[in-house]
Amino acid sequence: MTSSSQFCGLIAIVGAPNAGKSSLINVLVKNKVAIVSDKPHTTRQAVYGISCHENLQSIFIDTPGMVLTPQDSLQTYMRKTSRQSLKGADISVVVIDVDRAHHKANRLLLKESIKQGIPTLVALTKIDNWKDKSRLLPLIESYRDLESDIVGFFPISCHSHQGIEELELTIRKLLSPNSWIFPPNTVTQLSFDVTLSEITREKLFLSLHQEIPYKLNVVTEKWYWRKNKRNKQKELWIWQNIVVEKEGQKKLVLGQDGRRIRHVGLLSREEIQNQHQCIAHLFLHVTINATWMERCYG
C-alpha cells in the first residue's frame, strides 16, 4: 500500500477520573491495552491503543483522568499528561459519565479541545445505567452553548457496546491522509515489561482500598521466556517488585498471612496466561521506598 493512500490520526480520549476512558479504548481497539478499575486515577500515563482498518490507522490515546487540584507529584504528572495528550492530538473524544455529567473537568476539557481547533466529539458513556433514555436530551441541551463547536454527542456503553460502531465510524471519517505511524499489528506503544506491571497494578487497585492503591507502584524487575524441557512449550517467568512508601502499607499489601498478595499474584498470573496463551510463573515481592513517587514523577 502506498503511503499516499493511507489515513492516520491521533485521537485523545480525555475526561474526568473514572469516567470510563480506558474501558472505551479497550472496546475501540478490541484488545485490553489499558487497565480498568472502579477507583478514580487508575490510569497514570498515556497509553496508546492502535486500531488498523483497511487503509486507516486510528491511534487512540488513553489519558489519566483530569486532576483539577493535584495533591502530589504523581497527580501533577497525570494532569500534565492529559493536557499534553490533548495538545498533540488530531481529534478528541471527551468521555462523560452520564451520572457525573456536571463534573467540572468535562467543560474544562471540552473548552480546551475546542480552543485547539480540533474535531471534538462527546461520548456520553455508561448509558446502560439509564433505563429512561429520554434523560439524555436535557443532558445534551446543557451543553448547547458549545454545541456548534462539537462534532456530535454519542451515547455509548462499553459494557453493552451500544453506540460504539457509530462513534468508530465517525472517527474514521475524520482521519486525514497521512502515513501510518505504527506498523500493522501493533496494538500499543507500551513496552512488554510495563504491560506486565500494569496488569499487577490493576489487580492491586481492585483488591486494595482507600489511599493504598495510590501510594504504590509496580516494577517488572526481570522477565524471560524459557522452554519447558518436558513438553517443549515456552513459559514466561516474571519477577515484580511492588513498591510502597511505609511499613503499614506493606502490611496491607501482603494481607494476613500473605493472603492478599497471593490472591493478587493469582489473578495477575491468570490474566497474563490468558493474554499470552502460555504458562506463566510470577514472583511478587514488596519493598519500601519512601521517595519512589518523587523519584519517578517529581
Ligand X SMILES: Nc1nc2c(ncn2[C@@H]2O[C@H](COP(=O)(O)OP(=O)(O)OP(=O)(O)O)[C@@H](O)[C@H]2O)c(=O)[nH]1
Residues that bind ligand X (CB under 6 A): 15, 17-23, 36-38, 40-43, 64-65, 125-126, 128-129, 157-159
Report the residue number, 162 or 178, with the smaller CB distance to ligand X: 162
Report the residue number, 59 or 124, with the smaller CB distance to ligand X: 124
Q: How far is the CB of 25 from ligand X (least distance, A)?
A: 8
* Residue 201 to residue 220: CA distance in whole angstroms: 11
**Cβ contact 22:36 at 8 Å:** yes
Q: Is the alpha carbon torsion for 86, 87, 90, 91 positive or negative?
A: positive
Q: How far is the CB of 123 from ligand X (least distance, A)?
A: 10
Report the residue number, 21 or 269, with the smaller CB distance to Mg ion: 21
Of 77, 50, 81, the residue nearest 63 (C-alpha): 81
Length of the chain: 298
Report the residue number, 43 or 57, with the smaller CB distance to ligand X: 43
Q: How far is the CB of 39 from ligand X (least distance, A)?
A: 7
Of Mg ion, ligand X, none, which one does residue 92 interact with (CB within 5 to 8 Å by kind)?
none
**Cβ contact 9:175 at 8 Å:** yes
* Residue 178 to residue 174: CA distance in whole angstroms: 12
**Residue ranges for the binding site for GTP?**
15-22, 62-66, 125-128
Report the residue number, 126 or 269, with the smaller CB distance to ligand X: 126
* DSSP state string for 202-271: HHHHHH--TTGGGG-EEEEEEEEEEE-TTT--EEEEEEEEEEESSHHHHHHHH-GGGHHHHHHHHHHHHH
Ranges assigned E (strand) in 29-148: 47-53, 56-62, 91-97, 120-125
Q: How far is the CB of 103 from ligand X (least distance, A)?
A: 11
Of ligand X, Mg ion, none, which one does residue 197 interact with (CB within 5 to 8 Å by kind)?
none
Q: How far is the CB of 21 from Mg ion (least distance, A)?
A: 5
Of Mg ion, ligand X, none, which one does residue 74 interact with (CB within 5 to 8 Å by kind)?
none
**Residue ranges for the binding site?**
15-22, 62-66, 125-128
Q: How far is the CB of 42 from ligand X (least distance, A)?
A: 4
Report the residue number, 19 or 284, with the smaller CB distance to Mg ion: 19
Of Mg ion, ligand X, none, which one does residue 125 interact with (CB within 5 to 8 Å by kind)?
ligand X
* Residue 270 to residue 267: CA distance in whole angstroms: 5
Of ligand X, Mg ion, none, which one does residue 37 interact with (CB within 5 to 8 Å by kind)?
ligand X
Of 206, 215, 237, 192, the residue nearest 286 (C-alpha): 215
Of Mg ion, ligand X, none, which one does residue 17 interact with (CB within 5 to 8 Å by kind)?
ligand X
Give the three-class secondary structure for 163: coil
Residues making contact with Mg ion (CB under 5 A): 21-22, 42-43
Tell me the residue nearest to ligand X as measured from the CB: 65
Q: Residue for cell digits 491521533?
A: 10
